[in-house]
Structure 1
Amino acid sequence: MSVMVSVEFPVQTGKMVSFLEFIAKALPATRAFDGCLKVETFAEDGGGSLILIEAWETLDHQKAYMKWRMDTGLMAALEPFVSGPPIVRSYQPSDA
């Protein structure tokens, strides 16, 4: 059963354009990662935050991906663009 994960990045004032350029270069590897079904990017009006909406085969796939990103230094490379740590939330499908 697939899961949806949101990853919200608080973006420093005036850095949205450069952050979007940076993220655009990183997302092909995300989309190619084992278990990734889809990634969409949404920038908040006014430039305060960026949200990635990700669909994964399982939460374990997404956790393996996040570990890989930590191990390869991408999360540290985000620091010049963000004003705090990302907020990660996972969601399971509902029959509602």
Structure 2
Amino acid sequence: MKVILETRIREEAIDEAKAFLQEVIPDALVYKGCLNSKLLQDEKEPTSLLMVEDWESQEHHRKYLDFCTRNGMLRKLIRFLSSPPNLRYYHTIDL
């Protein structure tokens, strides 16, 4: 399961947001069901950050989101955003 979180960061908060995400992403990697996590920044629009993750299932990811809500991580992330994030779940199509 591919999980993609698209975010728009307030311009004045870009460096702080990237530092925060670089700090918390390793925690996701040890959470049950997380296979991979990468943070990408748009070359032309640096306020656009994309988190791309591989999870065993959507249920595993939702449990991680519940954990992030309870420990306050999502609340901290929201303070950097200029607009609501966009979360999408994708599955692989066999070719």
Q: TM-score, normalised by structure 1?
A: 0.91
Q: CA deviation at 1:95?
A: 1.6
Superposed counterparts of 1:51-70, under 5 Å? 51-70=50-69
Query: Structure 1 stretches (4+) deviating beyond 3 angstroms?
Result: none
Give unpaired runs (5+ residues) of structure 2.
Answer: none
Query: In the alignment, what sits opposite 1:40?
Result: 38
Query: In the alignment, what sits opposite 1:8?
Result: 6
Percent pairwise identity: 24
Q: TM-score, normalised by structure 2?
A: 0.91
Give unpaired runs (5+ residues) of structure 1.
Answer: none
Superposition RMSD in Å: 1.1
Query: In the alignment, what sits opposite 1:49?
Result: 48
